[in-house]
A and B are shown apart, each in its own frame.
Chain A
């Protein structure tokens, strides 16, 4: 079995911006994801970080087939997912599940928890009702909830418990890849550790691969093996977790890490304050997207888009001015 579970090649998603009520004309496009390439290995946690508008959420939606790919390819276990036949498409859906940020809107308010968890397997898999009930019960146990919780409704649970239910549902079809989109940021601080430990246990025992999207750099570092940094639709740096934090190369990564809040008052980080704001994805700067705010910018940066290239073992950077 190959090591690589998911591979993206020049993945691109443009959202058209139209004008006009009846005969609408396209006047531009929001370049949400602009040609990114990365791989996710089996059994690892790949973290994707970046600030608002960087495209990490859109990337996850593309992988989940909630949005159509504009161009580029996405390969899952070697197969191009845009070329899947009907049955393979179903299998792909079963293999890739998700847990979203808001525990309050992730669960259908009028469905019993047992039905919610069973949904991914009730539709297509051939399990009789008894087997389904057993699986729901064991899933509830895995996520640390009581077996008789399946007759209750989501509003009878707290935020942390609802996130557990969401995780149980994601586990139901025995997926290969689970996309975690800000899984703990809407939860209380003391509950976050519970959920992060739970996810870790699940990964160890079931060898699930995670794509973790989060803005809290400490959370990403704690959970990820490898991390990719995105800015305005492009991947600017990919490296192993420790390597990224110890030797960040791309100026944006350096700024991002320096801006992260310390975990102790004595940790004084030399903060790199970036001028200005993130530009609009409707009109990204020419050349390197980051160059207007970059403290290492040179002439070539405004002309050519830097390619993502390997500068060390497992360490890729897209910058003209790397050493």
Chain B
């Protein structure tokens, strides 16, 4: 094929290339902010392996031990570590199981909404013209809807269940992704490498998937992390109002609702799940912010 003496004036060395990658990896590890990650990993473990680590069956009632306080208070015991609720169910086990529920719902919504929003952003931004106009008007419509109110209304109509709230929140959530990511797509579309991909005979689909999409993944991940927190709060709010995951499944929101009437006699019933929601959502936000800084376009290295 091509057989003539190559010009060798570039002059880079083997070792330099290898060292460069290792140094970069070390810096990534050292620079990570570990607290929110730790909390979220804990959340993940509870969610995935909950069945194996919960000390008791979260649904099993034990009326003789109802409303026992956490172990360090008088009347409490290490058997029911964080206390029990009005039906004598172990709070700790219910929190662990509840983590699983929030996790399922949260991830499902974020994945569906993100995928849908990303796809619409790609089509809208890259194809332009009337496709863009139509899709953006639809996006505007969805963006202008009052999220919580519509969620409540739809859940009330369709009936509370885990599946329903996932679908409803995904449908309401994709528009935010679409709008932001479309901006990214437009920016990338003007780059030289897209023009050169066209010159290299790449078709529209190939350009959208192999050139544009990998460059918006960063923003998508940041948005997803931030939205996870929002979804968990939404799900908790819906459950609190009785419209979310129905009992006896221990969604954190429902647990808070259950404990509402006994706030002064048995504070632990509402407080523990409340703290759980707080920590997870806060960690999501912190992680999202940190990711946004790390993945700043100036550096563009994941």
Residues of A at under 8 Å CB distance from B? Answer: 64, 66, 90, 93-94, 96-98, 100-102, 105-111, 119-120, 123-124, 134-135, 138-139, 141-146, 149, 152, 155-156, 160-161, 164, 166, 169, 172-173, 194, 197-198, 201, 205-206
Contact = CB atoms under 8 A, between A and B. Distances in A.
B1 A135 contact: yes
Interface in B32-51: none
Given A119-B202, A152-B17, A169 B196 contact: yes
Contacts of B195: 64, 66, 100
A143 B206 contact: no
Given A111-B214, A146-B14, 20 more contacts: A97-B200, A100-B196, A108-B197, A108-B214, A109-B215, A109-B300, A119-B197, A120-B201, A123-B202, A135-B1, A144-B7, A144-B8, A144-B9, A146-B12, A152-B17, A161-B12, A173-B200, A194-B9, A205-B4, A206-B2
Interface string B164-188: 0000000000000000000000000
B191 A141 contact: no
A120 B301 CA distance: 25
Contacts of B2: 138-139, 141-142, 206
Contacts of B199: 64, 66, 93, 96-98, 120
Nearest to A160: B10
B193 A107 contact: yes
B210 A111 contact: yes
Interface in B189-246: 191-193, 195-203, 206, 210-211, 214-215, 217
Interface string B111-154: 00000000000000000000000000000000000000000000
A38 to B, nearest CB: 21
A134 B9 CA distance: 22
Contacts of B248: none
Interface string B259-302: 00000000000000000000000000000000000000000110
A120 B193 contact: no
Contacts of A194: 7, 9-10
A155 to B, nearest CB: 6
Contacts of A109: 193, 215, 300
B75 to A, nearest CB: 59
B259 to A, nearest CB: 48
B22 interface: no
Interface in B45-75: none
A156 B17 contact: yes
Contacts of B17: 149, 152, 156
Given A106-B193, A146-B12, A124 B201 contact: yes
A160 B14 CA distance: 18
A169 B8 CA distance: 18
Contact of B191 (A105, A144, A145): A105
A141 B6 contact: yes
A90 B211 CA distance: 20
B98 to A, nearest CB: 38
Nearest 5 A-B pairs (CB), nearest first?
A: A110-B214, A120-B200, A105-B192, A144-B10, A141-B6
A145 B210 CA distance: 24
Nearest to A120: B200
Contacts of B8: 144
A169 B1 CA distance: 16
B211 A100 contact: no
A110 B302 CA distance: 10
A169 B192 contact: no
A169 B200 contact: yes
Contact of A155 (B10, B12, B301): B301
Contacts of B14: 146
Contact of B215 (A94, A108, A198): A108
A152 B195 CA distance: 22
Contacts of A172: 200
Contacts of A197: 7, 9
A206 B4 CA distance: 10
